Amino acid sequence: MKNIINKSTILVTGGAGFIGSYLVEELLSYNPKKIFVVDNLIRGTLDNIKGFIKTSKVDFIKDDIGNKNLMEQLISKSDYCFHLAALRLNACANDPKKAYEVMVKATFNLIEAAKKYKVKKIVYSSSASVYGLAGHFPTPEIEPPYDNKTIYGAAKLFGEQMFRSYHHMYGLDYVTLRYFNVYGPRMDTHGKYTEVMIKWLDRIREKKNPVINGDGSITMDFVYAADAAKANILALTSEISDDIFNIASGEETSLRKLLELLLRVNSSKLKSIFRPETMVNPVKRRWADISKAKKLLNFRPEVSLEEGLERLSSWYFRKKNDSNS
Ligand SMILES: NC(=O)c1ccc[n+]([C@@H]2O[C@H](COP(=O)([O-])OP(=O)(O)OC[C@H]3O[C@@H](n4cnc5c(N)ncnc54)[C@H](O)[C@@H]3O)[C@@H](O)[C@H]2O)c1
């Protein structure tokens, strides 16, 4: 891999968030000249970035990506950009106008500025949500996005398509990553899809049998956050442009299996309790075909689900203990 990051200036939006903070940590090992991290901390935290906020190579700017002047100024100084700042799926549904401002308008302005100031390449964080409930498993990138029924997914598709059109009209280089279920320490403890892990960890901590709503047959494709961060670096440093990649483990895991693993890594003898489903989840299956990312980006998820769940458990229990002491 050619180290184009070496001595480059890089803008990371959403860099105090879950995946973004792993990405900045990873970027630092490639000797950049400067990393601008823009995050309004609506979800991200100073705790996430405590490992690098004092590094002279990182400038943390607590601001909104909707601040057009600031963004233009930062983009004009940047060689490359990773665009991760976004609202969560639920937040988009709760406030569509805000979703438009953050996910659509600010993304458009970022793309415009990137064109104007000739940013060399952008890596855009999209999501498996664009597929809705996919029709093919494992799901390849060519799966049509017609089943998406969410504002979040619609906004991500807007971004994907704007990058694509700016590439074809103006030669703006970009790669889009569609993450599946990203998990690990620092993850959102209230997220729509992954919150189940946190609820179970709470039960394990309280020594109460964890609850599965439904029969536990819903599946997800989990990828560890540091692996998702590495995928960003691979996408930037590869020769590839104007393309989309699924980022996942390529393994389908049912909620039943997930809980089994979580209990095992915590050496817990608790048993799953099954209760009737409280909400109908329209996305009953997630399983990514990651062969394209493997072949073209040389992407290899390194952290197994077991190892990742162990790390997640230790982080979460420590966090809970700290907040109680
Ligand atoms: N975590 C997942 O499983 C997952 C799955 C699919 C896609 N994604 C996408 O990956 C990216 C990173 O996700 P994450 O899990 O790290 O989420 P996150 O919420 O932890 O990170 C997003 C960051 O963006 C910041 N942000 C939001 N609105 C902002 C604004 N207007 N101005 C400045 N900063 C703003 C938040 O404070 C947060 O730190 C997002 O684009 C998300 O949609 C994540």
User: What per-residue confidence (pLDDT) applies to 188?
Assistant: 84
Domains along the sequence of the chain with CATH: 9-181+222-247 (3.40.50.720), 184-221+251-286+303-324 (3.90.25.10)
Provide the pLDDT for residue 194. Answer: 65
* Residue from 18, 92, 245, 249 whose mutation best tests the ligand 1 pocket (most atoms within 8 A of CB): 18
Going from the Cα of 126 to the center of ligand 1, the distance in angstroms, rounded, reads 10
Question: What is the structure's pLDDT at 270?
Answer: 97
Q: What is the structure's pLDDT at 191?
A: 65
Q: What share of the chain is helix, strand, coil (3-state, %, to 5)?
A: 40, 15, 40
- State the distance from the centre of ligand 1 to the C-alpha of 189, rounded, in angstroms: 13
Question: How distant, in Å, are the alpha carbons of 16, 221, 316 from that of 55?
Answer: 14, 34, 26
Given the residues 22, 80, 131, 152, select the one marked as catalytic. 152
Structure confidence at residue 193 (pLDDT): 61
| Strand-pair category, 253-254 with 219-220 | antiparallel
- Ligand 1 midpoint to CA 233 (Å): 17
- Torsion angle defined by CA atoms of residues 225, 294, 34 and 3, in that order, rounded to the nearest 10 degrees: 150
Tokens of residue 163, six digits: 């990058």
- Max CA pair span of the chain: 59
> What's the pLDDT score for residue 1?
75
Query: Which of the listed residues 39, 69, 87, 286 should we mutate to test ligand 1's pocket, taking the one with most ligand atoms within 8 A of CB?
Result: 39
Considering only CA atoms, which residue is closest to atom 8 of ligand 1?
127
Q: Does 152 qualify as catalytic in the annotation?
A: yes
Burial class of residue 282 (count of CB atoms within 10 Å of its CB; 0-12, 13-18, 19+): exposed
C-alpha pair distances (Å), 256 with each of 104, 200, 203 = 37, 12, 15
CA distances from 271 to 193, 246, 262, 267, 312 (A): 22, 34, 11, 12, 20
In tens digits, what is the pLDDT along the chain, a chain of 325 residues? 789 999 999 999 999 999 999 999 999 999 999 999 999 999 999 999 999 999 999 999 999 999 999 999 999 999 999 999 999 999 999 999 999 999 999 999 999 999 999 999 999 999 999 999 999 999 999 999 999 999 999 999 999 999 999 999 999 999 999 999 999 999 988 766 668 899 999 999 999 999 999 999 999 999 999 999 999 999 999 999 999 999 999 999 999 999 999 999 999 999 999 999 877 788 999 999 999 999 999 999 999 999 999 999 999 999 998 887 7
Nearest protein CA to atom 7 of ligand 1, as residue: 127
State residue 112's pLDDT score. 98
> DSSP letter at 100?
I
Please state the pTM of the whole predicted model. 0.97
Going by DSSP bridges, is the β-strand pair 211-213/273-275 parallel, antiparallel, or unpaired? parallel
Distance 156 CA to ligand 1 centre (A): 12
Say if strands 222-224 and 174-179 run parallel, antiparallel, or are unpaired. Answer: unpaired
CA–CA dist 294, 300 (Å, integer): 6
Which residues, judged by CB distance below 6 Å to any ligand atom, belong to the binding site of ligand 1? 14, 16-20, 38-44, 64-66, 84-88, 102, 125, 127, 179, 181-182, 188
Q: What is the pLDDT of residue 18?
A: 97
> CA 179 to CA 161: how far, in whole Å?
17
Nearest residue to 127 via CA among 91, 159, 100:
159
Nearest CA-CA partner of 246 in 102, 145, 109: 145
